[in-house]
Chain A
Amino acid sequence: MSMKTIFVFTCFAALVLWPLSAGSYGIDLVTKIMIYAILALSLELAVGTTGLVCFGQAGFFGIGAYAAVLLSPQGEAAALWWLLPACVVAAGLYAMVVGALSLRTKGVYFIMVTLAFAQMAYYVVHDTSLGGGTDGIYLTMKPVLGDWLDLDKPLVMYAFTLLGLMLAFAFLSLLLRSPFGRALAGIRVNEQRMRATGFSTYPYKLAAFTLSGAMAGFAGFLFAVKDGFVNPELMSWHQSGAVLVMIILGGLGHLRGALIGAFAFALLQELFQNEAVFGAFAKHWHLGLGLTIIASVALLPRGLVGVLGQLRERLVGRPMRRGAAPIAEVRP
């Protein structure tokens, strides 16, 4: 078993055991962070795996969240078995439309177009009665699955979110080593080469973008159910930027980087907002958080997942490069 696998298992084991030692605040906080971790994983599929720097992931997150509220019947609890897939499909469909159009652009234009689509979704819920305007809307009755799954209970919500995170991580781990995932990795490195090899890259990118949006919708659903409330801020560009920072902080190109990044970002935010630690300065938590992230990115170019490797290189030097070998014999 590799060190990476051991690390991931340890993280999940710690999350399983966390409620045994945490109070209600701790459980609520980690539930929120796990939802962000799913959102970060979804963005990692687009950015780290496929090379599509999406600046509108919050749009899909918000659509999943709003769908959970808007599709729930008034005055009664929706059944989870259809509400959850409906939210995921709604976000996935929007991602497919956004992707179909935005994937015709590249680089900074792609970033701007995805941002524009997220802002469109933001203003639809912000400026119309559909999404309750700036006040947002409440999910009065949380979805249920028969009598045995009550997501109103924090511990059940925690377990459900943890299960969702584990499934999302396992799914992406399998996906990335599959033929589809390897093709995405090739597209990220050199799309033109992939086309010359025989891969029609557009459908691959669209499928990855749609999956990414659907997964963000799943995170949005969890968020709406956890808080029982949605507002336009869920779709704001700040949110998209925060998720992007999470995966960069954790280390682009690694699923565990998305996990670590989500936890690091949220815990740093908690730390700088803590008045017991920072007193009146806690009001200016954005400054502390921003400076810390700038320092992290500058000092840890490979992200938090690369810390151990960087330390090892400092202590024992870079590993010997194999190469510069004489040209191999040609065998017909």
Chain B
Amino acid sequence: MSEVLLRGHELTRRWGGLVAVDRVSLELERGQVHAVIGTNGAGKSTLINLLSGELPPSSGTVELLGRDVSAWPQPRRARAGLGRSYQRNTVYPSFTVQENCRLAAQARHQRPWAWWRDATACEDTRAAAHDAAARAGLTDWLQVQAGLLSHGQKRQLEIAMCLATGPQVLLLDEPLAGMGAEETERMLGLLAAVKAEHAILLVEHDMDAVFRIADRITVMVNGAVIASGSPTEVRENADVQVAYLGEHG
């Protein structure tokens, strides 16, 4: 039986007369990759921002693990199990890979009052950091400064940092952006490996990758959903073919 971990209901975001996201509803289930595709400016990243709490919606609600989290600020949602990555690299370049992951893991065990304790000596966070790095395939790079990693490795590190926070839901904003063919394969392997335990929302422009990995696809145009369903259903949808996929249809 499917387990819905995140539910967005009638989410709308307006800036004056511009409707960036228009009554979008979607559900993310454990073990599924739900891709959101659309042209630039379709509202995909804004949708992620609404779900993660980075932006408040003009209307609509967000439910995480059965609880209405619409009024929760972003950090609280993150601690409740909502991890997200960004379109651009947001790793801490001067920190090592281990420290990037450890700092992310620290969000679950913050202990800010323990000013005399060495943060790196905390077993809980260190173990979580190592585990996340291993799952993202970065064990051999733990002591390397993140700024010195290749682009693909930085994207892997982004995912590792998300995993280190112990999330239930992953909102990934263009994790394949700027990657070569080999790096894309590695990243798809990583996503396939972690999806069993998580619900994943994937915003991506690489259509080949999306149709290979997604269990469900939602297509947005001008902030609104024009189609949603399995990859086959979306591929065969006439509106999608006209509005977005072009030759892919």
**Are A and B bound to each other?**
yes
Which positions in A face B, CB cutoff 8 Å? 171, 174-175, 177-183, 185-186, 189-190, 192-193, 195-201, 204, 207, 321-332
Chain B residues, Cβ within 8 Å of A201: 75
Which positions in B face A, CB cutoff 8 Å? 52, 54, 73-76, 78-79, 83-84, 86, 90, 92-95, 99, 102-104, 106-120, 122, 134-141, 144-145, 148-150, 152-153, 156, 161, 165, 182-183, 186, 189-190, 193-194
Closest to A175 in B: B115
Most chain B CB atoms below 10 A, which of A189, A193, A328: A328
> Smallest distance from the beta carbon of B25 to chain A beta carbons, Å?
23
Chain B residues, Cβ within 8 Å of A331: 134-135, 137, 139, 193
Q: Is the CB of B148 within 8 A of A183?
A: no
In the assembly, what is the distance between CA of A201 and CA of B90, in Å?
16
Q: Is the CB of A327 within 8 A of B182?
A: yes
Q: Is the CB of A183 within 8 A of B103?
A: yes
Closest to B159 in A: A330
- Of B52, B102, B139, the residue contacting A196 (CB under 8 A) is B52
> Smallest distance from the beta carbon of B137 to chain A beta carbons, Å?
4
Evaluate whether A196 and B106 lie within 8 angstroms (CB atoms) in the complex, with A204-B112, A327-B150, A331-B135 already known: no
Q: Is the CB of A195 within 8 A of B74?
A: yes
Evaluate whether A190 and B92 lie within 8 angstroms (CB atoms) in the complex, with A326-B150, A330-B193 already known: yes
Chain A residues, Cβ within 8 Å of B156: 327-328, 330
> Smallest distance from the beta carbon of A18 to chain B beta carbons, Å?
30
- Of A177, A186, A330, the residue contacting B103 (CB under 8 A) is A186
- Of B75, B83, B115, B182, the residue contacting A174 (CB under 8 A) is B115
Q: Is the CB of A323 within 8 A of B144?
A: yes
Chain A residues, Cβ within 8 Å of B149: 323, 325
In the assembly, what is the distance between CA of A200 and CA of B77, in Å?
11
Chain A residues, Cβ within 8 Å of B115: 171, 174-175, 178, 180-181
Known: A323-B144, A330-B136. 11 other contacts (CB 8 A): A171-B115, A174-B115, A178-B114, A193-B92, A196-B83, A197-B107, A197-B165, A198-B78, A322-B145, A325-B141, A328-B137
Evaluate whether A198 and B122 lie within 8 angstroms (CB atoms) in the complex, with A192-B90, A323-B144 already known: no
> Smallest distance from the beta carbon of A323 to chain B beta carbons, Å?
3
Q: Is the CB of A196 within 8 A of B78?
A: yes
Q: Is the CB of A182 within 8 A of B119?
A: yes
In the assembly, what is the distance between CA of A175 and CA of B75, in Å?
23
Q: Is the CB of B78 within 8 A of A322?
A: no
Q: Is the CB of A195 within 8 A of B75?
A: yes
A and B contact pairs by CB, cutoff 8 A, 15 listed: A174-B115, A178-B116, A179-B109, A183-B112, A189-B92, A189-B93, A192-B54, A198-B75, A201-B75, A321-B148, A323-B144, A327-B183, A328-B156, A329-B137, A330-B137
> Smallest distance from the beta carbon of B165 to chain A beta carbons, Å?
6
Most chain A CB atoms below 10 A, which of B86, B94, B109, B112: B112
- Of B86, B106, B152, the residue contacting A182 (CB under 8 A) is B106
Chain B residues, Cβ within 8 Å of A183: 103, 106, 110, 112
